[in-house]
Amino acid sequence: MVNSRNKKTCKVSAAPPRAAEQAAEAVKTLTHRPPPPEGAEILWDERQAAAALTLKPSTLNFWRSQHRGNPDYALPYIKIGAAIRYRKSDVEKFIADRLVTR
């Protein structure tokens, strides 16, 4: 790489192949979740549920905080500590209940 100010050549070193493999493995470990046990409910985080509903996660947050008793926004959720989870079956039912046929 040539620096345009003083025309010196700089070496750009690449990460050793083993370091790149270790980094890729670390990311895979952090992002990979094992499949749920047979018969267990599939839980989605707020981002996954919002994507299934084609909404922003902030919309689900608003529904939880502002429309607690409104049946139009009654999407059940599970609170585990600070984490919010939605059952996949509840999200699918929420979508099915809003089907409009004319």
Dump pLDDT digits (tens) for 5-43: 655 665 555 555 666 676 666 666 555 667 778 888 889
Q: Is residue 76 part of a domain?
A: yes
Q: Is residue 4 part of a domain?
A: no
Domain that holds residue 69: 43-96
Mean pLDDT of 40-65: 91
Q: Is residue 72 part of a domain?
A: yes
Q: Is residue 19 part of a domain?
A: no
Q: Is residue 61 part of a domain?
A: yes
Q: Is residue 35 part of a domain?
A: no
Q: Is residue 7 part of a domain?
A: no
Instruction: Indicate the number of domains in the chain.
Output: 1
Q: Which pLDDT band holds residue 70 (cuts at 50, 70, 90)?
A: confident
User: CB neighbours of 53 closer than 8 A, spacing ≥ 6?
Assistant: 60, 91, 94, 95
Indicate if the pLDDT at residue 79 is higher than 90: yes
The residue ranges of DSSP E strands in the chain, in sequence order, are 43-45, 78-80, 83-87
